[in-house]
Amino acid sequence: QEGGLLRRYTKEEGMPAVAVRGLLMLDGRLYVGSERGLYSGLEGRFRREGSNPVLDQALVTALTLVGANKLLVGTFDDGLFLLDVTGVTPIGLAEGLPWPQVANLQVDQTHVWSSGPRGVYRFGLDELDALLRQGTPLAPEPILNEARDARGGQRLRCCNGGATSRGLILNSRLWFPSLNGLVRIDPASIRPERKPPKTVIEAVESDDGRRWLAQESLRLPEGLRDLTVRFTALSFRDPEGLRFRYRLHGFEQDWHSPGAHRMARYTNLAPGRYRFEVDVLSGGSEQPRSTAEMVLVIPPYLTETVWFRSLVLLGILGLAAMLAAWMRRRSQQRERHLQELVERRTEELRRVNDRLRSANQALAAESLTDGLTGLKNRRFLARHLGGWRREHLLGEQPSDERLWLFLIDLDHFKAINDRHGHLAGDEMLCQFAQLLLRIAGGTGEALRWGGEEFLILMPEHALRSPEDFAERIVRAVRRADFRANEHTSVPLTASVGVASFPALADRSDLVDWALAMELADAGLYHSKLNGRDGWSRLHPAAEARYRDFGSGAGAQIEAVLEAGLARWEQSGQDRASTDG
């Protein structure tokens, strides 16, 4: 109001259109509690106060000063907030409040009083200072309590916050509205208990009805493992507000709440010495008012005692010693008998081992050799390539040496088997194997790959060129005199696929010789498609990489050819032109 006129503040001045629940002046600034947070105004301009996301959306119900420069804010469902020069401090259930609903706040010389739909409680100004300085939780004292779930205080439905005047201090007394009229609280008549309620352990009970009165130390009968401990505490001021917590040291570390029951139940306890503790709490505090303790001794069964287990252990050790002595004597007798037998058999075993060693060597050689042709087989290839790679490519001084693979297949050999019989076909395979041995010479290896497919491995330094060597194989097969029998000569031709290992210029296939075999197989298949009796090579380009053949050479042929990552070389092709 200015000059007898009322002025309205709107969004233009920073004040949104929300219901206002409280006003307070502090240091020349007007603080406004609204249903959508806290605002402050200075010289006609308003802003949201606090920068706390919970406070920004809270329904502010009460504003009051604490000291000279602290503002305490109450909210309908989010507890309290304290504003000072350091910022905003939220005070909720985690800080000790018994409930978060606040309708009105009052401050006297020693306490902060909070009323709300749940009742009235108070806490000391020194407690608030300890919370701000050290983070010590509050210990509120309920004065009125509508007895929903919090304990402590007189039972009364009070202070729903709906009245226009929701609380005041008049003549050192507090007045609050209730559903049944005014409630007056005289702080001078609220006197703390002179003596806290004493916690008492009443008795220990068994399931069969036996009962033992509490004592400093109680030894229970043997075999009792399930028990109930009953306890209580006497308070004339607030008997229903008493809360308990208990634990059994030696069995658990955490505290438990019995709720409305003043008893603790334990089952299947192991033998041993335990200490039962029970604390009584009152009001909103979690600090124990008094504590009672009792030692419980659960005796072991006979079979659980130390001396019984020691006797059993000694008996087992004695039996073990007797058994060991008997076995030692028996062993000595058998040792004398076996010594003679060993001496007789030693020479026999030596001769058997010699024969076995020779047989193993023969078996190892046979496992790497084709049974029909006498050539090396696929198993030899895996071992040979692994050793060659370690020696030439992965050694301390790796070289640029490559190993060339020539995959050879006899053309139309099935027709020869059908015409002359399989025995004649096997004889011709043996003749072909001898031809390959002569071609490979002392520097290469000839293998039977399977059926009528064969493989020659040649080191690069032993070749003038791989193309000339492939041509030599084709010509040698074409000119050779293969005989189905003494009187029948059978002409043969062969198709050859050529590849090197490593196959790529950057040697990125060094770890996988399967790519070289796939390239050789692709070349062999290409020779078959182009009239047989010749050789072919799928030559990767210098920029080709191992990942370009990720699905295998056979599956990627068309893709790598279209991408210019490989080209075909074959019999009768002018290599000079293709290389250019």
pTM for the model stands at 0.43
Closest Cα partner for 222 from 263, 269, 274?
269
Alpha carbon distance 365, 360 (integer Å): 8
Alpha carbon distance 404, 440 (integer Å): 12
Where do the domains of the chain lie? 11-189, 199-303, 308-366, 378-579
pLDDT digits (tens, 9 = 90+) for 177-214: 877 778 888 888 877 666 778 899 999 999 999 999 98
- pLDDT score, position 283: 56
Average pLDDT, the chain: 85
pLDDT digits (tens, 9 = 90+) for 457-494: 999 999 999 999 999 999 999 999 999 888 889 999 99
Alpha carbon distance 82, 74 (integer Å): 9
Helices (H) and strands (E) in the chain, counts: 10, 32
> Residues 204, 210, 215, 218: what is their CA dihedral angle, to the nearest 10 degrees?
-90
Alpha carbon distance 143, 174 (integer Å): 12
CATH class of 199-303: mainly beta
Residue 577 pLDDT level (bands cut at 50, 70, 90):
very low
Alpha carbon distance 560, 548 (integer Å): 7
Q: How many percent of the chain have pLDDT more than 70?
A: 88
Q: What is the 3-state secondary structure (H, E, C) of 393-435?
A: CCCCCCCCCCEEEEEEEECCHHHHHHHHCHHHHHHHHHHHHHH
DSSP code string of 490-535: E---EEEEEEEES-STT-TTTT-THHHHHHHHHHHHHHHHTTSSEE
For residue 532, the one-letter residue type is: R
- Mean pLDDT lowest for which of 106-110, 339-343, 554-558? 554-558
pLDDT exceeds 50 at position 88 = yes
Q: Summarize the confidence of residues 490-512 as an average pLDDT.
A: 90
How does strand 111-116 pair with strand 104-107?
Answer: antiparallel
- Mean pLDDT lowest for which of 170-184, 214-228, 252-266? 170-184
Element of type H or E holding 553: helix 553-562
CATH architecture of 11-189: 7 Propeller (2.130)
127, 141, 445, 452: the catalytic one is 452
CATH domain 378-579 topology: Alpha-Beta Plaits (3.30.70)
Q: Give the orientation angle of helix 514-529 with respect to helix 553-562, to 10 degrees.
A: 70
Q: Let me know if 452 is a catalytic residue.
A: yes
Cβ atoms of 432 and 410 closer than 8 Å: yes
Residue 257 corresponds to which tokens in the numbers above? Answer: 């709440």
